[in-house]
Amino acid sequence: MKKWLSLFFICPFLLAVTSCYRMRSSHGGGQISSISSRKINTSDIALPPGYKIEAVVSGLTFPTAVAFDDEQRAYVIEAGYSYGEVFGEPKLLRIEPGGTTTQIAKGANNGPWTGITFYKGAFYVAEGGEREGGKILRINMDGSIKELIANLPSVGDHHTNGPVIKDGYIYFGQGTATNSSVVGPDNKEFGWLMRKKDFHDIPCADIVLNGINFTSENVLAEGSKGEATTGAYSPFNQSTIPGEIKKGSIPCTGSILRIPIDGGAPELVAWGFRNPFGLALNEQGRLYITENGYDDRGSRPVWGAGDVLWEVRPGLWYGWPDYSAGKSIIDDEEFKVPGKDPVKAILQIQPNKPPKPTAIFGVHSSSNGFDFCTNAAFGYAGEAFVAQFGDMAPKAGKVLAPVGFKVVRVNINSGVIQDFAVNKGRKNGPATRFKRGGLERPVSVKFDPSGKAMYIADFGIMRLTKKSVQPQVKTGVIWKITKEGS
């Protein structure tokens, strides 16, 4: 009896100890000791019964999205920039039969090209704008490029994303400059703070601040000595006072904006997003986006914030920097970094109560580009298929196991998320972590015009350490999933 009593106490104790977050080291998918070459092996990928997968093209450098012209030919964009401060040339490539590519257009050194769509004989591309600011480009079939808008505020952590076209307008996402509205040492690690010392977040409408300031190492001082005090929506080392008003302006960060199809002044659609990466219209023409949630980094870290699928309703504020997935992060243990103080409110007045999310993805899953299935023959019609790039631990925060590195499907009515394409094996993670040949970092999903085939842009290998991000060129792959027999 005594022994059983001991077991009764020992078991929960062991369970508690082994599951203790703070005692365990981070096990992010990119935390690998060495980088091996990329293998391709479709049998390493699990799909629901009745589906098959093939690699359409490999050896790409940072592919981010796929589009189709009006002859149903597939195209891919290479980003031309990756976290880790790897700059290259953004490219639009046509995928030829047999897995070769033909270059259609080449961009300037202002990547990353984050998304593409085809509309009435031309491509529309979101240029992330890490060096010169974000742009929306029209690329004609002859490769000529026209800027429809430029100088978008995207030289920070997050970029210009999208686009999609609806009712004669180009809708696109504009990510925030920072993790949670405060410029800090983490932005130096990203690289941009040394290039753009005065850059910071811009609200879309006038906001009133609580005047909370954050002390950090003065990373812009000579020799990195001394302290800096920085407030929200302000340049590094510039403090704020209670009741201070920050004027809103368009274009702003953390927003969905739109411009007329032939270019023109941007208009606000909705705001209060952190990084609205993926944009897609469902069959009813409703606009949905994926938002990358807060990281556990910087001067105002936030813990436990999942990525989100939102339906975008015009005019609304969606909660950043004081909410996550429709829930306040202020003084809530759910969002407090273990061992640190609770998160304090930036805004004195909330523009509106944020709406409820469509679905909440895994913390740090980096749920990115997505598309809706519109053909019942493929299965799961009406559901959103979302590419999960996977965690960027330990830079973005600690995880106990790799998160993401797969494609999931989402029932937008119930919010239920289920795996669709995922690497086989005893543990989840990118294929190279286990020296296999499956998915690495899926970054977007696109159905072909028939709706019978789903294409996945797989960014390629990215190794992470506490100090560096190491993306690997020429490791990107485009995958194609179809129903067997179709």
Among the residue ranges 100-108, 187-195, 247-255, 327-335, the one whose residues contact another protein (CB under 8 A): 327-335
Unique residue bearing structure tokens 């390629």: 460
| 400 contacts another protein (rule: CB under 8 A) | yes
Which of 2, 3, 120, 426 binds another protein (CB under 8 A)? It is: 426
Got the DSSP string for 354-387? ----SEEEEET--EEEEEE---TTTSSTTPEEEE
Residue 22 within binding range of another protein, rule CB under 8 A: yes
484 binds another protein (CB under 8 A): no
Does residue 420 belong to the site contacting another protein (CB under 8 A)? yes
Q: Is 329 helix (H, G, I), strand (E, B) or coil?
A: coil
Q: Does the footprint of another protein cover residue 16 (CB under 8 A)?
A: yes
* Site for another protein contains 29 (CB under 8 A): no
* DSSP-assigned beta bridge partners for residue 227: 217
Residue of 6, 7, 13, 15 interacting with another protein (CB under 8 A): 15
Residue with token string 């076209």: 165
Are 273 and 279 in contact by the 8 Å Cβ rule? The answer is no
Q: What one-letter code names the amino acid at 32?
A: I
User: Smallest Cα–Cα separation from 116: which of 168, 74, 60?
Assistant: 74
CA dist list (Å): 213 to 189, 208, 217, 460:
20, 14, 13, 39
Contact stretch for another protein (CB under 8 A) within 42-50, 78-86, 168-176, 229-237:
42-50
Contact between 418 and another protein per CB under 8 A: yes
Does the protein bind another protein through residue 333 (CB under 8 A)? yes
Q: Which residues pair with 372 in a beta bridge?
A: 384
- The distance of closest approach from Cβ of residue 148 to another protein in the complex, given in angstroms and rounded to an integer, is 36
If one asks whether residue 46 binds another protein (CB under 8 A), the answer comes out as yes
Tokens 């080291």 map to which residue? 25
Is residue 334 close enough to count as binding another protein by CB under 8 A? Answer: yes
Helix intervals (H) in 118-238: 185-190, 192-195
CA distance 123 to 434: 37
User: Which one, 21 or 435, has the nearer CB to another protein?
Assistant: 21
How far is it, in rounded angstroms, from Cα 161 to Cα 424?
31
CB of 434 to another protein, least distance (A): 12
Single out the segment in contact with another protein by CB under 8 A; choices: 31-39, 44-52, 124-132, 177-185. 44-52
The verdict on 49 binding another protein (CB under 8 A) reads yes
Closest distance between another protein and the C-beta of residue 475, in Å? 24
The helix (H) or strand (E) run that includes residue 121 is none
- Is the previous residue joined to 251 through a cis bond, with omega within 30 degrees of 0? yes
Number of residues located near another protein, criterion CB under 8 A: 47
CB-count burial class (<10 Å; 0-12, 13-18, 19+) for 25:
exposed
Element (H, E) at 3: helix 2-18
Shortest Cβ 224–another protein spacing (Å): 31
The sign of the dihedral angle between the CA atoms of 369, 375, 376, 377 is: negative
Distance CA 6, CA 144 (A): 75
Is 47 a residue that touches another protein (CB under 8 A)? Answer: yes
Taking the least distance from each CB to another protein, the nearer of 138 and 409 is: 409
Instruction: Select from 329, 363, 384, 453 the one that contacts another protein (CB under 8 A).
Output: 363
- Judged by CB under 8 A, the residue of 194, 416, 468, 474 near another protein is 416
Q: Which two tokens stand for residue 223?
A: 């020799």
349 touches another protein (CB under 8 A): no
Is residue 412 a contact residue for another protein (CB under 8 A)? no
Residues that bind another protein (CB under 8 A): 11-12, 15-16, 18-22, 46-49, 303-306, 325, 332-334, 338, 359-365, 397, 399-401, 403, 414-420, 422, 424-428
